[in-house]
Amino acid sequence: MRLSIRWLLLGAALSLAATSFAQVPADAPAGTTGVCKDGSYSQAAVKKGACRGHKGVKQWYAAAGSSTATTTGTATAGAAAAAPTAPAAPPAAPSPKGAASTSGATSSYTPPANPAAGGGPGMVWVNTSSNVYHCPGDKWYGKTKHGQYMTEAEAKAKNARPDHGKACQS
């Protein structure tokens, strides 16, 4: 009698443990081990530093001390223990939200080779997202994601500030 109660308690404990672990969402990329607070996914093997530059880890799906995670999110505790470990899937392509950036301090955006059409002598490029203007010859002149050309006087009238505090050479 005592033995059957012990087995029953052990089975209940295992069932509870299997359901208490977080499971990877079905729409997550293959190999996902966690989700960051900004909504991007991580494929890092360890939790520490996995969402650096993405406001930290929101939910971690990989088991503690393990370098692989269940990618389907539907395996039970018994099936996971009995099944051999599959090789890790290759990392997914970076998300459009910029999940590939890991520096935290700088953007991973690289300016395009050619500036936007327009511009010319006496014109500056105003980054409308940051309200910073760039002079001709600057790395970002006509190349930020959002912006427009205008004269330096117009830019100053709209309270735009020069890049690194340096006004253009007239």
Q: What is the pTM of this model?
A: 0.37
Neighbours of 116 (CB within 10 A): 14
State how far the alpha carbon of 7 is from the alpha carbons of 19, 76, 121, in Å. 19, 18, 84
| Residue among 152, 159, 156, 124 at smallest CA distance from 140 | 124
Q: Where are the alpha helices (DSSP H) in 25-99?
A: 77-82
| Residue among 69, 82, 56, 64 at smallest CA distance from 23 | 69
The pLDDT value recorded for residue 76 is 37
> d(Cα 102, Cα 117) in Å, to the nearest integer?
32
The pLDDT value recorded for residue 22 is 66
Percent helix, strand and coil across the chain, each rounded to 5?
20, 15, 65
Q: What is the rounded average pLDDT of the residues 36-65?
A: 82
* Domain map (residue ranges) of the chain: 22-75, 123-165
pLDDT in tens, 53-82: 888 888 888 776 544 433 333 333 343 344
pLDDT in tens, 117-133: 888 888 999 999 899 99
> d(Cα 72, Cα 26) in Å, to the nearest integer?
7
